[in-house]
Structure 1
Amino acid sequence: MSRQEKTETSVTERFNELFDKLEHCDEDEQKQKIEEMNEMINEMNKEEFKTVFTKEMFDKVDEMIEEKKLPLENAILLLKRIGFCKVLKGINIYGFNESSLEEKFKEIIYDENEKKDEEKDEKLLVDICECYFMFDNQFSSDMYPICAPCLLNVASSKEKKEEAQKKVEVALLALSNSSTVNNVGRKLFLEKIKEIIQYHQEHCNFTQLAYQSACQFLIKRFYNDKSLEKVIVNELHFAREARRELEELTKYVDWKRTEEEKERRKGRTEENIIMRWLKTLEFFFTGCHLWNEECSGLIGGIVQLFRIAKDNHGEICYWCICSLRSAAENRNVEIEDLLKGRAVDAVLEEMQRRTVDDEITVECLQFFKHISKRLKEEVNNEAMKVKRKKTKMEIFEKLEEEGYEDTITSFHEIFYFIEENFGCDISLNISDYFVNA
């Protein structure tokens, strides 16, 4: 097929055409076609993903495996690429959970796990566990104790060869997608993931995506176990490491690429890893109670990234603002650190150039609502009163100088519109967004 024909035929059509041919090919031909399909998966955007990877497609894969028209090994080659790109790009698809393929994978995992060590097919077990974690959105608690230790063992490899690093990366990416809601014991993962992260911090043996995934996996466990906070903040220095990684990733992004160039580079990019860090940071700020200098520095790192991305990458800009909004909402985050890190300046600046039909507008409004609410709260300690008064004056003067009142007033008339269109709970009282000296 010529380049022009490929351009005229959508990626979803080309993918489906090859998929339909798989059951009529021998194993080697299937592998060649799957290689082509995997390249197409890299190109797909979120809407294309949701169009192609449906319950019907997963059921068809199961049917072909069952009828021996598609060897399980070849099916895994295709499914792992779909899962990898799904998780990397943060795409939600639900067809797998509704399909017969999910039941087949669970049976394989149970069967392999029950075998004696010398009889187990370790590679198959790892492959199926990775697929299961990357696709599943429900995570039955009985699967977690089998899959998590299996993948953590893969991720514990200390080899620096590229092939070994790739295996570690895929295992950690799959783990990073595992649910936050299963209240499984820390014995299943804590010591192992600590060892994995600390070894990388000393030896730099991971890819950037693998390291981000390891940190994300641990932060998500924090959802049900707040006692992990000391490990995350004080032992693993999460805030310091996150800032360093964001700064490093930023160097490798061509921020001046056109939208067309971005479309052509949809695969595994630094931008995707940056967005994964930012989403993890939003999660971290929501529940963080320990606040130290490293956490304060992280605010400045997010603002620095925001300023680089704001004119060239709307999605990264959005997640920067989301992270700062979460920090403003958290009472353990010092408002002074938001000032010192120039978060107040950045959010105000962004709000002034936004339109009403924009999700970032909502995040900016929420940021200032939380700041205002916290500054209006009573404090009993005299030293705190003096500190609070100084902070309020500093923010008041900054907002007054930048014409903040006019900006909020211009938005107030459409607060009902924002609430209805974005399904968010914003205050309709305009005074809730003002800071009084």
Structure 2
Amino acid sequence: MTDNTKKFNELFCELEHCNEEEQRQKIEEMNEIVDEMNGYEFKFIFKTKLFEKIDKMIEEKKLQLGNATWILKHIGYCVVLKNVWNRCFEESLLNKRLSNMIIYEEKKKDEKNKILSDDLCECHLLLNKCVSSELAIICVPCVLKAVLHKEKEEESQRDVEIALLAFRNTKYDFFRQELYLKEITEIIKNHQEHHNLTQLAYQSAWEFLINRFHTNIFLEDTISNELHFGREAARELEELTRNVDWNRKKGEEGGKEAKEEFALMRWVETLKIYFQSCRLKNEENVGLINLIVQIYQTAKDNYRGIRFQCIYSLRNAAEKRVVRVEDLLKSGAIDAVLEEIRHSTLKDKILSKYLQFFLNVSKKLKKKTDNKMEEVKRKATKRKVFEKMEEEGYEDTITSFHERLSFLNQKYLREFSLDISDFL
């Protein structure tokens, strides 16, 4: 128990004895307390028992449904923002109630309560770690249309941010383009023209689209050439890196710093997925590689999560045609991975990502061409890479792992040969 959890419980217990307006006032206070909670307080309060109580209050008409969705949306927003997932809501009767209400409202077609339907869909997307295909097909178009409406009506940026953040949990669902592409493209273009979204809302819109790219390569022209993801991501990352407290000591917490760290981490994760899927060569992608290396160098001491995501992104970029080995060499990407691999142990799962980075580089360097000029450049680049690897002691480092490469194969990947020359 802390001051925050005690005060929240007191206000929650008072809700069922208040009229609708009084409930709104108390929920506003409760939302402010939720904003201040750390991860431990959050998990202590939001357990299945609390959601079951809300379900019972709705059933007995002691809590007005609009007030219930208001506090639930805020809880869901903070669940995503603070990254404090548990399955308490998913396993509750309240989740079943809201899911059934979403399906019921959808069946009413033109007669459905639009505001209630929007609120229910946002709650469901925010509070469920995994969203079923049945409900995702209903909720995603509903929330996208709600975002466009809120933008036109110039409603609060916080409401739009909450709605877009709801898409965080739809990454693994398959959607037909007609369910989302027109609306999400319009949302992104509107921001590029009018700057009407918060940083987090804009990143959430891009994250939703890039996660579709992972399963739909036909989006590449829209993402890269029409919406200019590389340019937009670079600008957002540059601004975030200026605002993060890079000197924060390990384990130290802070509201503003934690939020900015979270936003930066999400962008780098989005880059990882982007580079995993893209195929078109684009100068904007080269700029992104340079930026990833800069972020890695800045984050490597105090921000382990960001550091690792940077390496994942470089690994994926090295595999695709979008970035040349010369770009990886010039940007310092090869230096960054060499630096990381020297500090690895066999217990580090990420070791396989470092090795795969160089396996990808090796495959690129082996590809011969009939163009004499290109072939001369390929050989020159290959020589530079090998000199760099020799200078940094890469061979000695890899040899130290040689006896355990079969273990790494079994546990993480199937591609590594025990012939050490494949890596050189």
TM-score range, shorter chain: 0.7 to 0.9
The 3 A distance-change label for structure 1 pair 51 and 222 is farther
TM-score by length of 2: 0.86
> Which has the higher mean CA deviation after the structures are superposed, 344-353 or 65-74?
65-74
Give the AA of the match of 1:424. Answer: Y
- Structure 1: where are the runs of 5+ without partners? none
Across the aligned residues of Structure 1 and Structure 2, the Cα RMSD in angstroms comes to 3.3
- Structure 2: where are the runs of 5+ without partners? none
How far apart are 1:370 and its partner, in Å? 2.6
Give the AA of the match of 1:44. Answer: N
How far apart are 1:149 and its partner, in Å? 2.3
Q: Distance in 1 between matches of 2:72 and 2:93?
A: 14
The 3 A distance-change label for structure 1 pair 116 and 418 is closer
How far apart are 1:425 and its partner, in Å? 2.1
**Bigger relative CO (Cα 8 Å, ≥ 6 apart):** 1
Give the AA of the match of 2:237. Answer: L
8 Å Cα contact 2:131/2:169 also seen in 1: no
How far apart are 1:191 and its partner, in Å? 1.4
**Pair 1:201 & 2:189 matched:** no
Deviations 1:304-343 (A, max 9, x none): 1111111221111121111111212334432222112211
Give the AA of the match of 1:302. Answer: I
Give the AA of the match of 2:78. Answer: C
The 3 A distance-change label for structure 1 pair 116 and 426 is closer
List aligned pairs for 1:72-87, cutoff 5 A: 72-87=65-80
TM-score by length of 1: 0.83
Which residue, out of 153, 176, 179, partners 2:145? 153
User: Which residue number in structure 2 is paired with residue 344 of structure 1?
Assistant: 334
How far apart are 1:236 and its partner, in Å? 0.5
What SS does structure 2 have at the residue aligned with 1:96? Answer: coil
Which residue, out of 5, 10, 26, partners 1:32? 26
8 Å Cα contact 2:121/2:139 also seen in 1: yes
How far apart are 1:433 and its partner, in Å? 7.7
How far apart are 1:171 and its partner, in Å? 1.1
The 3 A distance-change label for structure 1 pair 302 and 267 is closer
Deviations 1:39-69 (A, max 9, x none): 3465433x77667655555444323322344
8 Å Cα contact 2:280/2:321 also seen in 1: no
Deviations 1:170-227 (A, max 9, x none): 1111124324332x32112111111111121122111101110111111112233211
> Which has the higher mean CA deviation after the structures are superposed, 200-209 or 139-148?
139-148
Q: Distance in 2 between matches of 1:151 and 1:426?
A: 41
Deviations 1:347-400 (A, max 9, x none): 112222344444444432332233234434x53535454333222211110111
List aligned pairs for 1:389-400, cutoff 5 A: 389-400=379-390
List aligned pairs for 1:29-428, cutoff 5 A: 32=26, 35-36=29-30, 39-40=33-34, 43-45=37-39, 53=46, 55=48, 57-115=50-108, 117=110, 120-156=112-148, 157-158=150-151, 164-182=156-174, 184-259=175-250, 262-265=252-255, 269-376=259-366, 378-383=367-372, 384-413=374-403, 415=405, 423-425=411-413
Q: Distance in 1 between matches of 2:37 and 2:422?
A: 45
Identity %, equivalent residues = 45
Q: Distance in 1 between matches of 2:409 and 2:115?
A: 50
8 Å Cα contact 1:405/1:434 also seen in 2: no
The 3 A distance-change label for structure 1 pair 291 and 85 is farther
> Which has the higher mean CA deviation after the structures are superposed, 18-27 or 193-202?
18-27
> Which has the higher mean CA deviation after the structures are superposed, 173-182 or 152-161?
152-161
Give the AA of the match of 1:204. Answer: H
> Which has the higher mean CA deviation after the structures are superposed, 284-293 or 148-157?
148-157
8 Å Cα contact 2:81/2:259 also seen in 1: no
8 Å Cα contact 2:130/2:170 also seen in 1: no
